[in-house]
Amino acid sequence: MILVFGSNGQVGLELAKFDGVLTLDRAEADLTNPEACAHKILQHKPMSVINAAAYTAVDKAETEKELATLINADAPAAMAKACSELGIPFVHISTDYVFDGSGETPRKPNDTTNPVNVYGYSKRLGEEAIVRSGAIYAILRTSWVVSAHRANFVKSMLNAAENHKLLRVVDDQIGGPTPAHSVAKACVQIAHSLLINPEKKGVYHFSGKPDVSWYEFAKTIFECAGRDVQLNAITTSGYPTPAQRPQNSRLNCDLTKSVFDIDRPNWGNGLTKILKDLGEIQ
């Protein structure tokens, strides 16, 4: 059995669809109580653990640093320690936000991290704690996760288009949109692989292809949905937010392919399924 934290998130909802998975929601595992999360692992004694839970309110994190750190760093640290005690794999989902977003080169797993906001900083702290834990771990950094569930860019664009026929979308932030189902599938595959080959532990990247800007992604969303929406491309400076966003969210996923034989998913295929699930297309 694989024990999953974060059953109500985009990836957690997709993980729940897999056989042999037990998901825990907030009522069953309070991320603000790290020791309670560790106790759940020791209690259930699963064959592996996937942490799909996180504090993801990027802008709000700027004024809730302690809470973001508790959920994104302290809780995963406690989970990893419990997994280490049991000698089982721990797969943890992280983010491209641990990088500063400079340049145009896709970031490799061993590239130097340098987060530019509180959210990214809290996620980096979590990564560092997991590495120190002694667990058989896989930290899977991903980006721009989308699905038919919860809040994400696809749903935000479709909702915005209900009331506005002209939308301004940032065109100088580049990354790989990643379907939540693909992230879930990769996590399960990695968890099983680590059971057989624990020496594969480490930090990995996983994002959809091809890399595009938010503007290009939005344009494709509306084209696929058959929506008549006018888009204006703007720069990051034209859309100020409390938390700074990395402009380069490109991730080099070659190591994930070579070690686990997991390809980058084509986000176009994932988008089609999401739009079908949302009733936008047949």
Q: For residues 9 and 51, is the Cβ–Cβ distance under 8 A?
A: no
Say how far residue 82 (Cα) sits from the centre of its chain. Answer: 22
| DSSP conformational letter for 238 | G
Q: Which two tokens stand for residue 234?
A: 């703007």
Q: Which of 119, 121, 137, 204 is catalytic?
A: 119
Q: For residues 49 and 130, is the Cβ–Cβ distance under 8 A?
A: no
Q: Residue 278: phi, psi to the nearest 5?
A: -85, -5
Q: Exposed, middle or buried by CB within 10 Å (0-12, 13-18, 19+), for 120?
A: buried
For residue 9, what are the contacts with CB-CB under 8 A and spacing of at least 6? 52, 53, 54, 56, 150
Cα(180)–Cα(72) distance, rounded to whole angstroms?
19
Question: In one letter, which amino acid is 119?
Answer: Y
Q: Exposed, middle or buried by CB within 10 Å (0-12, 13-18, 19+), for 13?
A: buried
Active site residue 119: yes
Start-to-end CA distance of the chain, whole Å, equals 35
Supply the residues annotated as catalytic.
119
